[in-house]
Amino acid sequence: MKNNLSKYFRGKKILITGHNGFKGSWISILLNHFGSKIYGISLKEEKKSLFKKANINRLLVKDYICNISQKNKVKKLIIKINPDIIIHFAAQSLVIDAYQKPLNTYMTNVIGTLNILEAAKELNKLKKILITTTDKVYNTNKKKHFNENDEIKGQDTYSSSKVCVEQLIFNYKKSYFNLKNSPEILVARSGNVIGGGDISKDRIIPDIIKSIRNKKKLLIRAPKNIRPWQHVLDPLYGYLLLLSHRNLSKKNYIWNFGPKKNSFQTVEYIVNKFKKQFYFDSENIKNPFNETKILKLNSSKAMKELKWLPKLNLNESINKIIEYERYLEKNKNLQEICLKQVNDYLKKQNQNI
């Protein structure tokens, strides 16, 4: 499968929005491995980001600093790049930030996506657009393993903004990208991605790492909440399989990428796993936010039709994060550990093919 992905992506001009974020950095490493010409559009990277610390910028042909809610600037840059494929990651993806800054969340997630799609209408080489939303779009009042055909219903600001994005995509597919030679628009919904280099605030693993490093008590707002935890490389590999697939139905455009059932675990489970490796104190606090208590994804469609399989269970994923943090402690070359983990992962993907 690695050779097939190399064949498909080699030499292709790929635009990644949000390229210097957590997922953007890891997919840049993957695409560089497969020989793509990578371009990026994003806000300025954070000083402590994986993108900065691992010198991911050296893997790109060119990257641009731009807020995706700026219509004219975004359009001008995308037309200038004229990509074969767009991977749209740029988003305001923090649930608590969304509660506190709803206007920014809707502007970034909805208007930002609208600007990408408007620019895409002007391109003559573009073949595919992959837009990521979230597993939180589902009607989470129903306790079940959600599949792609289940009802969507945003119950908080972040998930509501992503439901709006999906409605927008549906409209653009029907109204503007409905001709035979139109670019294909794909939607990916993934679980809670984890991995080395995530520095997002108010996420459990970055918060654990901060508590360990700063010797401060970890405050846990939802210890019993269950999430579909998955290492970042699993869904990213699935996205690349999806983009490379040649015979998808036009109606078959929404895809779940979640872990195996044994990785549906509580926040408390994650905390206890880290406590076996590191010393830190923790305390459960009252959750001031209305967050989904249980989220489970059914990814059988991707497994059957794309032959995609998640290769890293939750314990293996945590071990990958610890390996990354050990490198960081020793001030080693972080691109080196990222490349090692990508190579190890690709070997696992090829084992059963």
Which of 3-7, 157-161, 184-188 has the lowest average pLDDT? 3-7
Q: Considering only CA atoms, give the Rg of the chain.
A: 19
The CA distance from 64 to 258, in Å, is 31
pLDDT-wise least confident of 79-83, 171-175, 279-283, 336-340: 279-283
Residue 283 token pair: 């305390």
Q: Determine which of 84-88, 111-115, 327-331 has the lowest per-residue pLDDT on average.
A: 327-331
- The backbone torsions φ and ψ at residue 68, rounded to the nearest 5 degrees and listed phi first, read -70, -10
**Domain made up of 2-197+232-259+297-313+325-351: CATH architecture:** 3-Layer(aba) Sandwich (3.40)
pLDDT at res. 352 = 46
Over the stretch 241-292, which tens digit does the pLDDT of each residue have? Answer: 999 998 777 778 999 999 988 899 999 999 999 999 888 999 998 877 767 7
In this structure, of 52-56, 61-65, 152-156, 210-214, the range with the lowest mean pLDDT score is: 152-156
Q: How confident is the model at residue 143 (pLDDT cuts 50, 70, 90)?
A: low
What number is the average pLDDT over the span 215-242? 94
| Mean pLDDT, rounded, for 94-121 | 95
pLDDT band at 2 (very low <50, low <70, confident <90, very high): low
- Tokens at 201, concatenated: 């605030």
* Four-point Cα dihedral 82, 85, 91, 95, nearest 10: 180
Q: What's the mean per-residue pLDDT of the chain?
A: 92
Given a cut of 90, is residue 345 above it in pLDDT? yes
pLDDT exceeds cutoff 90 at 197: yes
Rounded to whole angstroms, the Cα distance separating 258 from 236 reads 11
The yes-or-no verdict on residue 306 having pLDDT over 70 is yes
68-72: which pairs have CB atoms within 8 A and are 24 or more residues apart?
Answer: 68/17, 68/41, 68/108, 68/112, 68/113, 68/115, 68/116, 69/107, 69/108, 69/111, 69/112, 69/115, 70/115, 71/111, 71/115, 71/118
pLDDT at 229 over 70: yes
What are φ and ψ of residue 230, in 5° steps? -150, 145
Average pLDDT over residues 21-36: 97
**Largest Cα–Cα separation, the chain:** 58
Q: What is the mean pLDDT of residues 326-335?
A: 86
Q: What pLDDT is recorded for position 353? A: 38
pLDDT higher than threshold 90 for residue 10: yes
Q: For the residues 96-110, what does the mean pLDDT come to?
A: 95
Output the pLDDT for position 1. 52
SS3 state at 52: helix
Higher pLDDT, 297 or 353: 297
CA-CA distance, 31 to 12, in Å (whole number)? 10
- CA 49 from chain centre, in angstroms, equals 15
Rounded Cα–Cα distance for residues 270 and 200 (Å): 17
Q: Residue ranges of the alpha helices (H) in the chain?
A: 2-9, 22-33, 50-53, 71-81, 95-100, 102-106, 112-120, 157-175, 204-214, 233-244, 267-275, 300-305, 314-329, 334-351
Domain boundaries defined on the chain: 2-197+232-259+297-313+325-351
Which of 293 and 92 is assigned the larger pLDDT? Answer: 92
pLDDT higher than 80, residue 293: no
Instruction: For residue range 37-96, list pLDDT tens digits in order.
Output: 999 999 999 889 999 999 999 999 999 999 999 999 999 999 999 999 999 999 999 888
